[in-house]
Amino acid sequence: MTVREMCERLELKPLTGECGMDREVSGAYICDLLSWVMSHAQRGDAWITIQTHTNIVAVATLLELSSVIIAEAAEVEEDTIKKAIDEDIPILVSNKSAFLIAKGLLNAGLGK
């Protein structure tokens, strides 16, 4: 599925407009420790986190992640949004927990 389709199915709010919405989502990874994400997430994953600082964009870019999903409606810093747009990394927000977001991805067919 694409990031756009994921947004529609999970009712995610894109903070970065149309950037990266046609990227393919091949999996998901949930973690808030950046170094752990760097060593375990895979290219194409949607990364689910509550981290909102600019370093999330650097990690997503380095790993070629499909998107970053911010759980529990954590407020994303304006600098992070600007950097994500510059790097073409979609940042999406949900008021749901990381668990419920992951459950929604499974129910939408990701990982099957």
pLDDT tens digits for 72-99? Answer: 999 999 999 999 999 999 999 999 999 9
- DSSP string of 51-69, one letter each residue: --STHHHHHHHHHT-SEEE
22 is a domain residue: yes
**Residue ranges making up the domain that contains 46:** 3-107
User: Does the residue 112 lie in any domain?
Assistant: no
Q: What are the φ and ψ backbone dihedral angles of 48, each rounded to 5 degrees?
A: -100, 125
Calpha distance 9→39 (Å, rounded): 29
In a domain? residue 58: yes
Nearest-angstrom CA–CA distance, 104 and 75: 21
pTM of the model: 0.97
Asked whether residue 2 carries a pLDDT value surpassing 80, the answer given is yes
pLDDT mean over 38-63: 98
